[in-house]
Amino acid sequence: MRNKHFLFDDMLPEEIFTPEDFHEEHKMLADTTMKFINHKVMPALEKIEKQQFSETIRLMKEAGDLGLISADIPEEDGGLDLGKVSAAIISEIMALGRSFSITFGGQTGIGALPIAYFGTEKQKQIYLPRILAGEMIAAYALTEPSSGTDAMSIKTKAVLSTCGTYYVLNGEKQWITNSAFADVFIVYAKVNGEKFTAFIVEKDYEGVTTSTEEKKMGLNGSSTRSLILDNVKVPADNIIGEVGRGHVIAFNVLNIGRHKIAASSLGTAKRSLELAVKYANERKQFGRLLSNFNLIKDKIATMATKIYANESVIYRTAGAIQTGFENMKKTGAHFAETIAQYVVECSINKIMSTEILDFVVDEAVQIHGGYGYMAEYEVETLYRDSRINRIFEGTNEINRILIASTLLKEYMQATQKENDADGLLREERMLLQQMKKLYHSTIFNVQENALHHFNIEQEVAAFITDVVISIYAIESVILRTEKAIKTSTQEHVRQKIDYTKLFVYETSQLIGLKALNISHHIRAEDTFSKMASQLIMKCPENIVDLKRRIADTVIASEKYISREKAVF
Convert the pLDDT of each residue in 12-33 to its tens digit. 999 999 999 999 999 999 999 9
- pLDDT on residue 1: 39
User: Distance (Å, rounded) from C-alpha 314 to C-alpha 292?
Assistant: 32
Q: Which residues pair with 171 in a beta bridge?
A: 229
Active site residues: 393
Nearest C-alpha neighbor of 395 from the set 254, 511, 260: 254
- pLDDT on residue 568: 61
Among the residues of 234-280, which ranges form H helices? 246-280
User: Distance (Å, rounded) from C-alpha 326 to C-alpha 208?
Assistant: 39
Q: Which amino acid is at 91?
A: S
Distances (CA, A) of 315 to 21, 170, 360, 479: 10, 41, 19, 12
Non-local CB neighbours of 322 within 8 Å, separated by 6+ positions:
17, 83, 84, 85
Task: Give the pairing of strands 138-141 and 184-191.
Answer: parallel
Structural fold of domain 248-398: Butyryl-CoA Dehydrogenase, subunit A; domain 3 (1.20.140)
Domain 139-244: assigned CATH number: 2.40.110.10
- pLDDT on residue 547: 97
Question: For the chain, what are the domain ranges?
Answer: 19-136, 139-244, 248-398, 415-537
Is 415-537 the same fold as 248-398? yes
Domain 19-136 class? mainly alpha
Q: What kind of architecture, by CATH, is found in domain 415-537? A: Up-down Bundle (1.20)
DSSP 39: I
Q: Kindly list the averaged pLDDT for each block of 10 residues, start to end, along the chain of length 568.
A: 76 95 96 98 97 98 97 92 96 98 95 96 97 97 86 94 98 97 98 97 98 97 98 98 96 94 98 98 96 98 98 98 94 92 97 98 98 97 97 94 93 58 84 95 95 95 98 98 89 93 97 96 92 87 95 96 65
One-character DSSP codes across 118-173: H--HHHHHHHHHHHHTTSS-EEEE--BTTBSS-GGG---EEEE-TTSSEEEEEEEE
Non-local CB neighbours of 261 within 8 Å, separated by 6+ positions:
91, 105, 350, 353, 354, 389, 392, 393
